[in-house]
Amino acid sequence: MAAKTVEQALVEQWRDILALHSRTQCEIDRALHQHGLCASDFEVLDVLAGDGDAADRVRPYRVQEIAERVHLSQSALSRLIARLEKDGLVERGMCPEDRRGVRVGLTARGRALHGQVLPVQRAVLTRMLAG
């Protein structure tokens, strides 16, 4: 009986995590919609913007590197990157060290939009996840 209770508690905890994730994603989607973005679009722009290190900001990322940091299938990520490229927010190019690879980087427009919406996304995270 005790094992069943522990298992049920784990399942409930997992479902609570999923529900919080879902609510937070929906809130981010709503907040970013007026800027023409969804939460997944922002996540890719945020990865490409780097961690604040100047050298990191100008470095394009391989698609595989982006895929490791966002929770999208390879095909969904490819479609998202194509859409961001069409909107002038990112640019794709061949990977110089591996001609089969593709690198993606922010354009000036993408960097500006990321800077504009970053506080919006962070405010949603603060509201949804703090305390």
- Please state the rounded mean pLDDT for residues 17-46: 96
What does the pLDDT read at residue 83?
97
pLDDT above 70: residue 52: no
CATH 1.10.10.10 fits 2-129, yes or no: yes
Question: Which string of DSSP letters, residue by residue, matches 31-91?
Answer: HHHTTT--HHHHHHHHHHHTTS-HHHHH--EEHHHHHHHS---HHHHHHHHHHHHHTTSEE
Residue 119 in contact with residue 18, Cβ under 8 Å?
A: no
For the chain, give every domain's residue range: 2-129
Residue 56's contacts (CB-CB under 8 Å, 6 or more residues apart) are 50
Would you place residue 94 in the very low, low, confident or very high pLDDT band (cuts 50, 70, 90)?
confident
pTM: 0.86
